[in-house]
Chains A and B, each alone.
Chain A
């Protein structure tokens, strides 16, 4: 297992289109997190899964955002009706156990034109 992977690495879309990102965590990790990072800022928490259950969701996450983690394995993050303000790096991280040591993926950079 080579770590957390994310697909695609880059996505350019027009305003109003829907986009979906995928995250594959490290195989034995039961916790999965999504973050958004804009230039010059730290990651902002979006949502958290423990196995297949979505246990936390940030107030930053509008109704246009939805995330799933079917069967507690990979996860998808969908943004509907994208806006220019959605342009950012979307990071996925996974962890296992009580230490909460997260392993991050390379991110998906979204550009909304």
Chain B
């Protein structure tokens, strides 16, 4: 069975500081993709960053970067220079075999 675990239900960060959100997953598949999605309050889910499992290099998208540890099945998201607009629920997701599996989310608060 495929599972995604986000062990931090809530996190907070000071504006302009850096925060890391944790995600672990469990799978026996070798071919998969990992994603972080952001869901602002009452707004639709948007893709933040994507990582292919076969790529060793960690993905980056502007202020967002991941630390992908394949052997440990860990996929954390680092947000640098946090902004008020980063406040949202963040979901880690895992794709394999035509299905997506989502974690339970981490609610991020950005403190001005």
A associates with B: yes
> In the complex, what's the smallest C-beta–C-beta distance from B27 to chain A, in angstroms?
14
Q: How many residues of A contact B (CB 8 A)?
A: 24
B11 sits at the interface (CB 8 A) = no
| In the complex, residue of chain B having the shortest beta-carbon distance to the beta carbon of A99 | B50
Bound form: Cα–Cα A93–B33 in Å: 16
A90 sits at the interface (CB 8 A) = no
B39-47, B67-75, B78-86: which lies at the interface: B39-47
Residues of B within 8 A of A102 (CB): 35, 47, 100
> In the complex, what's the smallest C-beta–C-beta distance from A1 to chain B, in angstroms?
15
B64 sits at the interface (CB 8 A) = no
> In the complex, what's the smallest C-beta–C-beta distance from B109 to chain A, in angstroms?
16
> In the complex, what's the smallest C-beta–C-beta distance from A62 to chain B, in angstroms?
18
**Do the beta carbons of B46 and A104 come within 8 Å of each other?**
yes
Bound form: Cα–Cα A91–B43 in Å: 12
**Do the beta carbons of A45 and B44 come within 8 Å of each other?**
no
**Do the beta carbons of B45 and A48 come within 8 Å of each other?**
no
Bound form: Cα–Cα A55–B101 in Å: 16
For the A-B complex, the count of residue pairs with Cβ-Cβ distances under 8 Å equals: 53
**Do the beta carbons of A42 and B99 come within 8 Å of each other?**
no
Contacts A41-B105, A42-B104, A44-B102; A91 near B95 (Cβ below 8 A)? no
**Do the beta carbons of B45 and A91 come within 8 Å of each other?**
yes
Residues of A within 8 A of B35 (CB): 101-102
Bound form: Cα–Cα A99–B54 in Å: 13
B 90-112 contacts with A by CB, 8 A: 91, 93, 95, 97-105
Residues of A within 8 A of B100 (CB): 33, 35, 43, 45, 100, 102
Residues of B within 8 A of A101 (CB): 35, 47, 50
Bound form: Cα–Cα A95–B14 in Å: 34
A sample of 28 inter-chain contacts (CB < 8 A) reads: A33-B100, A35-B102, A40-B104, A41-B104, A42-B4, A42-B93, A42-B102, A42-B104, A43-B45, A43-B91, A45-B101, A50-B98, A55-B98, A56-B97, A56-B98, A91-B45, A99-B33, A100-B33, A100-B50, A100-B100, A101-B35, A101-B47, A102-B47, A104-B37, A104-B45, A105-B44, A106-B43, A106-B44
